Structure 1
Amino acid sequence: MYRRTLLKSAAFSAAAAATSTVASNASAGEFTGKIKKAVKLHMATGDASVLDKFRMIRDLGFDGVETRVKLGKENEALVRSYAQASESTGLPIHGVIHSSNPDLVGAIDQAKSLGATSVLHVVRYDRKISYLRNHEETKQIIRSAVDQAEKQGVMILCENVWASYLIEPMGMARFVDSFDSPMVGIYFDVGNVVRWGWPQHWLEVIGRRAKKLDIKEYDLGVAMNEGMREGFRKPLGEGSIEWDKVRSELTKIDYQGWATAEVKGGDRARLAEIAAQMDRVLDLA
C-alpha cells in the first residue's frame, strides 16, 4: 500500500511539474531571459526622490536603469544618490549617457563607479569644419579613451542619431571597427534609423557590434505630414517599424543584452504603459 501511494504521489508530482513547465513556456516570450528591459532615469518625471524613482522603476518590472553622466564636484552628491538607490533597491545602473561630451575618460570612470558597463556616446558632427577633419577629430576623442575603457571594463558605445553623420550602417560599422577594440561598439537606436532606412537592415550589417539597444517607435506617415520629429510620437508597435523583422535579426545575431526605452516619460502609469509596450514589441512576455 505504501509503495502504491508513493508511486501515485510521484506520478502526480511529475505531471504537476510538466504542467508547470508548459505553462511557464507558454507565458514566456522569445526574448524572455535574453533581453533586459530598462528606462532612462530622467523618463521618471515628478518630484519623487532618486530612491523612490528607482523603487518605482523596479516595481514596474524593469530590469535596470540608465543615468546621465554628471561630472564635477557640484554633482558628487547626486551621483552618490544614484549609487545608493541602486544598492538599496537592487536595480542596476547598466549604462550612463554622455551625449557628445568629449570627456570620455571622466564618463568611463563614473560608469565604473556606478557598476555600469557602458557609456553612450554621440559622435558629433561639427559643420563649421571640414568633413574629414570632423572624422579625424571625433575618432581621436574616442581613441584617447580606449585604454581607460579597456582598463575599467566599460564599453564606449556610439549611438546612431540625427546628426547627419554615420547615418548608414556600413559607415558606422567601419567607424567602430577602426578602433580595433572590444570596448568600442554600437548603441543601436531602433527608431532613429527609420528616417533613412530600416532597423532590420542595419542589424544585418552591424551584427554583434550592436551591444545595447535604444527602443523607440517612428511613423513615416506622421513625419511626412506633420514634421520629422513628430514621427516619434506614435506608441511602440504602432508606427512604421516592422518589429517582427527586427526580432528576426536580433535572433540571427543571438542578441542578449539591454534594451532601454527612449520615449516620452511620465508618471507611474506612463512608465507602466511603456513597460507593457516593450514586452509586446520585443516579445518579452
Structure 2
Amino acid sequence: LLPLAEKLRIHILIETVWNGFCYKPEEFRDYIDAINSPWVQAYYDIGNMQKFAPSHEWIRILGKRTLKLDVKDWGSKNGFCPLGQGDVDWKKVRNELEKIEFAGWATREGNDGGVEKTAKLMNELLAL
C-alpha cells in the first residue's frame, strides 16, 4: 500500500480505537514511526483514548503525526457523553493542539443535541 499511497499522494491514517492495540501514547507513536513513511499518520480519537491516558498527553506525544481528529468526550462515570460532560480536559487539549500547530480535519462523533449545539461546543472547547 505504501508505494500506492505515495504515488497517489494520499495518507493512510490509523485510528486510535478500543481493540487491545496500542493503549499507551508512546506505543502508538512508536508504531507509526516504525512504519517509517510520511504517508502513514495518526487519526486520533480524543474520547476513545481518554480512558487510557489523558487526551492532551496523547496529542503531545503523537505531535505532528496527527492528521485528523475525532472529537468526542468520555468520562469514567458516564462513558461516552456530550462534549464537555466527560473527563477530557479541553483547555489542555486545545493548548497541545496549538503547540503542534494542528491544521487537519476534526469531525464530531456523537450527539450533543443538534448541529448548532455541537458547532457551539466545538468552538468553545477547541476554538475551531
Report TM bin, short chain.
over 0.9
Higher normalized helix content (fraction of residues): 1
Unaligned runs of 5+ in 2: none
How big is the shift at 1:169?
Answer: 0.9
1:39-80 deviations in Å (ceiling 9; x for gaps): xxxxxxxxxxxxxxxxxxxxxxxxxxxxxxxxxxxxxxxxxx
Higher normalized strand content (fraction of residues): 2
SS class of match (1:206): helix
Asked if residue 214 in structure 1 is aligned to residue 61 in structure 2, the reply is no
TM-score, normalised via structure 2 length? 0.93
> Which amino acid letter does the alignment assign opposite residue 243 of structure 1?
W
Q: Determine the C-alpha separation between the residues in 2 that align with 1:252 and 1:276.
A: 23
Identity among equivalent positions (%) equals 37
Name the structure 2 match of 1:275: 119
Unaligned runs of 5+ in 1: 1-144, 223-230
Name the structure 2 match of 1:258: 105
How big is the shift at 1:167?
Answer: 1.2
TM-score, normalised via structure 1 length? 0.43
Name the structure 1 match of 2:6: 150
Q: Determine the C-alpha separation between the residues in 1 that align with 2:33 and 2:52.
A: 22
SS class of match (2:73): coil
Asked if residue 202 in structure 1 is aligned to residue 58 in structure 2, the reply is yes
1:237 to 80, 84, 88: 84
**Are the equivalent residues in 1 in contact too, given 2:82–2:111 (CA < 8 A)?**
no
How big is the shift at 1:175?
Answer: 0.9
1:113-135 deviations in Å (ceiling 9; x for gaps): xxxxxxxxxxxxxxxxxxxxxxx
> Which amino acid letter does the alignment assign opposite residue 245 of structure 1?
K
Superposed CA RMSD in Å reads 1.4
1:171 to 8, 23, 27: 27
> Which amino acid letter does the alignment assign opposite residue 87 of structure 2?
S
Matches of residues 56-67 of structure 1 in structure 2 within 5 Å?
none
Matches of residues 49-128 of structure 1 in structure 2 within 5 Å?
none
Q: Which has the larger radius of gyration?
A: 1
Number of matched pairs: 128
